[in-house]
Structures are given as structure tokens and as C-alpha cells.
Amino acid sequence: METVSSLTTKNVVEALSMFHAALGDHKESINRLNVYPVPDGDTGTNMFLTVASVLEELNGVDPNDRTAVCGAISHGSLMGARGNSGVILSQVLRGMSNRFAQANEIDAEVLAVALSEASVAADGSVMKPVEGTILTVVREVAKAARDAANSESILRTVELALEEGKAALDRTPEQLEVLREAGVVDAGGAGFLLLLHAFLSIIDGRELPEATEEGPFVAVTEPPIGDELSELRYEVMYLLNAPDQSIEEFKKIWAGLGDSIVVVGGDGLWNCHIHTNDIGPTIEAGIEVGRPERIRVTDLSEEVMEERWVREAAEVGKIDERVVADEVPCAVVAVSPASGISRIFHNLGVQELVLGGQSMNPSTSELLDAVERAPGEEVLILPNNSNIVAVAQAVDAETSKTVVVIPTISIPGGLASLLGYDPQATAAQNSLTMTELVDGVKVGEVTQAVRPTNTGVGEVATGDWIGLDSDGICSIGSSLTQAATALLEQLVDDHDEILSVIAGDEATDADVRAVTEWMSENRPGVDTEVHKGGQSHYPFFFGVE
């Protein structure tokens, strides 16, 4: 193809799409570099999901409308940023898009200035910037682009910036001890450089870096466990609606509550990230200055231990995208909406996981890929959602393996079915046992209504909390706990033995206590088990046996 001398607005959109594809290809190798600030193996995934949010925001936007495109990039990256690396990447994209929006033509000089403003924005978002991270790599890339732009073409400017970026990435272990001890380069910096590869692909048509089993980056060895930052147990993130003038005071409060603090945004909307041991005060600080929403709390210690397990398992077996497992006659693929639920599935013997659930149904191709990776010639699929069953049933015709779908339509049903799973039995034998267990489980879930409707138990208004069983809506409440306990009133009787509670990311500790206390008072003969699922949209999944 002909080399372009400047980027059009459409080129920018295409570059972001390529960046997203490259992150998708390389996210697992980037995840394996992730030892700082917490070795939880999710940097590549968080960057991938952050860019996915940008592309979703760009849906329906005229790709030739510079103002609309740059606005969508800025807003989508702010709203969808995931994790420490994702929030910083959002500032990089916001800084670049703000400069692009002001330019008539995106030539070498404009791109260099955009990278410089991205670096300033990223540095400014972090309360305690640390050298040897993505911040360092972005800064060195920007400097190289500035030095080249006055005399070089946009092609040569990006090439020189990428060369310096690679050199800066190689130097990160010299700047950050935890990287040196682990034998890796910085994960966020490695992910960022794929953006430059995407620009080069647009400019002169060159191929994106090929994803290999080991990845294009330095392989990870055993990361140090128990460093100072990993002692902070929780990652708290939320969007904060608050006046811009209140944010400096908010940051000062957060500075006393944790580390890895990143606060980005403006014009009354902020994306806030912190690692802390004090969940309540970090959320209360937001309430004092505004209105937090989309609150996500992740137990970092659980993620670190899972990532450590995967790394250790890689030393004795083949590692694939999600789990290491021995070859068995019959393997299991399960669809999971969140990391906490994935950990439970792993513990119950599932070898392969596919991200999906309500509002994010995986494709037949994604399920097929998981089946092909699964370490068995016979494979069971647990769709765990009624919308995914038909897609799962289409997989058998596309593979030489024997595939049997256990028609699980809920997460509790999927978990219950695994109590009958025998990896040494055939898929047909497992199907009989596991389906019988699914049929013996009563399931319920609690969510918030997005539109008004009439039901057999009354009128539902937008924003009401509703409890659902297998027959539909059976409880309505003005609060989460009100709807949850009303659902349990109908779902659980004195003949039942166990209630499994899977708490989502919107369920607070107080909400969980309200549920367990209600069970103690009203169903004292039923044992209650609580698991942290971390799923969105559904604060509670219930399974009753």
C-alpha cells in the first residue's frame, strides 16, 4: 500500500481497532509480565477491555467526524477504564484525542505533540509516579517523537519513537527492582507499544507483531510475593460524579488510605482507582464530595494467589490462556461472567473458561476455541445462561471432539452440576449425573430493573430491585436487600439444606450480612455459604439445594 503522509480521522479509528486486536492477541503474554504494582496477571486484559470500551463508544459515530470521534475516544476510555493500567491508558488516549481534535491535519508534528500531551496527562493522573512503568515508556516515546517530527515524515517519526520505546521498555528492570527480581519488563509499557505498531500498520501497511506462545516480551520467572504494595488487599474502583474543585481534597484523603492511586477525568466525572485495606473509607470519601457509581472491589490477594498458581503450574505442564491441566478423558468448558466465579469453577475442576453471561454472550467460535484447547477428547460445556445454550449446542458439529452440553441456565446450576463431574467418566455418563444435579437446584438472582413493567407480583418501576427465580420476577423491593430477602422467603424452605450465595461487585459487606442474618433468623436449619463472585449487573446469585 501507499505510505500515508498524515493520518485522517478514519485512520485514527482504524488504528484503535488494530490496537485492540493486537492487545487481544498479546494480552496473555502481557498478563504474564504483570508483577507491578500487584502480581495479579491482568494488565493485558485490563488494557484490552479499556480499548474495547472506546470502540463500543465509537459505534455509530461518523468515522470522518473529527470532533465526534475524539469525543467518543475520550469519553469511552474514561468510562471503561479497567485496573491501574487501564486507567493510565485511558489518560494516554484522552491526551492524544484532545490534541487530534484541535488539529486540521494529523501530521508528524501533531502526532508528536499528541504523544507529549498524553505523557503529561498520564503522569498527572498518578499521585506517586514510579519510574520503570508505562509512564516512563510513554514519556520516552513522546520525547523521541518530538525530536524527530521537525525533520522527519510521520512514518519515520513513529519508527524512531517505537525504537526508543523498545529501548525504554528494556531499561525498565534497571529502574524498578520488582521487575529486575522477576526477570521481566513492565507489562503496561509493553502493551502501550502495540499502539505504535498499530499506527505503523495504518501508515505503511506493515503487519502487527505476531503473537507466539511465549509472546514477544521477556518471559516471566517467579514474581516476588509479599512486597510492600501487595500487602494492600483490595482494589477499589468507581466513577465519581463530583465538582472538579473538590478532587484535590479527595485525593489528599485517598493518599492516607492506600497506594496505586489514579484519579482521571474532568467536567464533573472522574474515574478513581486505589489499592487499599480500607474499602469503606475509600467509598465514603467519594460520597463526601459527590456520588460514586459502578463501584468495583477486587480482592487482590485472591487474584495474586491464582496468578501464582498458574505460573507454578506452567513449570510442570503446558500453559494456555486460562488454566493448566492434565489430559483427561472428559474435560469441562464453562462460561463465567467474572473472575471470582472463575476461581470457583477452577476449584471444582473446570479446565477451560470463556468470558460471558448476561449482555455478553460468547460466540460459537469462542466456545469452539475453548473446546479445542480443553485437555480431553470428550468435552462438556456449561453455558450457565439460557441465551448461551443454543450457541453451545452448535459447537459439536464444528469439532472432531465429542461435545455434550449440560443445559445449565444459571451460575448456581453450573456450580451444582460440577459436584457430579468425573473427569475419568465419559461425557455421556457425566451428562446424566450432572443434569440430575442441575434439576435438583433451585436458583434465584437479584438485579435492578432498567425499564418499567407489570408482573404477577406488582408493578416494577425503573430502578426497582427485583428478585427472579426460574419462572420470572417473584419479588420487588426499593432496596437490594429488600428484594433479596423477599426472594429468599419464596425460594428457601425448611426442607432445604444449603443456600449458596454468590455476591456480585455491587453487593456490599452490609448487604451480604443482611442476607445471612435473615437466613439465620428465618431459615435456621439451612446452612449458608457465601462466595465472592464479582459479577456485574447481578449483586446476588442464589442456589438452593
- Nearest C-alpha neighbor of 462 from the set 476, 448, 481, 479: 448
Q: H helices of 315-376, where? A: 339-347, 364-373
In a domain, 2, yes or no: no
Does 262 share its domain with 118? no
In this structure, what CATH number is given to the domain that contains residue 408? 3.40.50.510
- Do residues 49 and 77 lie in contact, with contact meaning Cβ atoms separated by under 8 Å? no
Distance CA 324, CA 311 (A): 9
In a domain, 364, yes or no: yes
- At 455 the three-state DSSP class reads strand
Task: Tell me: do 243 and 94 sit in the same domain.
Answer: no
Confirm whether 217 is domain-assigned.
no
Residue 187 shares a structural domain with residue 324: no
C-alpha cell at 2: 501507499
Taking only Cα atoms into account, the Rg of the chain, rounded to an integer number of angstroms, comes to 24
**Do strands 269-276 and 258-266 pair parallel, antiparallel, or not at all (unpaired)?**
antiparallel
What is the 8-class DSSP label of residue 58? H
Residues 30 and 174 in one domain: yes
Instruction: Tell me if 130 sits within 8 A of 228, measured CB to CB.
Output: no
* Contact indicator for 121, 91 with CB cutoff of 8 Å: yes
**Grid cell locating 391:** 450457541
Same domain, 490 and 508: yes
- 14 belongs to a structural domain: yes
Q: Which helix (H) or strand (E) holds 416?
A: helix 411-417
Beta bridge partners of 126: 262
- Transcribe 359-410 into DSSP letters: TBPPPHHHHHHHHHHSSSSEEEEE--STTTHHHHHTSGGGSSSEEEE----S
Q: What is the CATH number of the domain that holds 16?
A: 1.25.40.340
Residue ending a domain, choose from 416, 439, 462: 439
- The three cell numbers locating residue 269: 466525572
Asked, for residue 218, whether it belongs to a domain, the answer is: no
Per-position pLDDT tens, the chain of length 545 = 678 889 999 999 999 999 999 998 898 889 888 777 655 567 888 899 899 999 999 998 999 999 999 999 999 998 888 778 888 999 999 999 999 999 989 999 999 999 999 999 999 888 888 899 999 999 999 999 999 999 999 999 999 999 999 999 999 999 988 888 888 899 999 999 999 999 999 999 999 998 764 444 444 444 444 443 446 778 888 999 999 999 999 999 998 998 889 898 888 999 999 988 888 889 999 999 999 887 877 766 655 555 554 444 444 433 333 444 578 999 999 999 887 788 888 888 899 988 887 667 788 888 999 999 999 999 999 999 888 998 999 999 999 999 999 999 899 999 999 989 999 999 999 999 999 999 889 999 999 988 888 888 899 998 999 999 988 899 999 999 999 999 999 999 988 999 999 998 888 888 999 999 999 999 988 988 888 888 878 899 999 98
How many residues appear in the chain? 545
**DSSP states of 90-144:** HHHHHHHHHHHHH-SSB-HHHHHHHHHHHHHHHHHHBSS--TTSHHHHHHHHHHH
Q: Which residues contact 251 (CB under 8 A, 6 or more apart)?
A: 127, 261, 263
Report whether 83 contacts 42 (CB < 8 A).
yes
Among residues 439, 460, 490, the one where a domain terminates is 439
User: Is the same domain home to 51 and 189?
Assistant: yes
Joined grid coordinates for residue 316? 510442570
Residues 6+ apart with CB under 8 A from 58: 13, 16, 69, 72, 73, 76
- pTM of structure: 0.56
The Cα 416–Cα 107 span in angstroms is: 58
Which domain-ending residue is among 439, 466, 501?
439
| Domain annotation covers residue 216 | no
Strands 453-455 and 458-460: antiparallel
For residues 498 and 529, is the Cβ–Cβ distance under 8 A? Answer: yes
With respect to residue 406, please indicate whether it lies within any of the assigned structural domains.
yes
Distance CA 178, CA 329 (A): 41
Domain that includes residue 142, residue range: 9-204
Question: Does residue 26 sit in the same domain as residue 146?
Answer: yes
For residue 215, tell me if it sits in a domain: no
Q: Assign residue 522 the CATH number of its domain.
A: 3.30.1180
d(CA 290, CA 238): 12
424 lies in the same domain as 476:
no
162 and 258 assigned to the same domain: no
Helices (H), 36-82: 43-58, 66-80
- 50 lies in the same domain as 113: yes
Count of domains for the chain: 4
Same domain, 26 and 154: yes
Same domain membership, residue 391 and residue 325: yes
Q: Could you give the C-alpha distances from 102 to 66, 97, 110, in angstroms and in order?
A: 9, 9, 9
Q: 271 has which bridge partners?
A: 239, 264
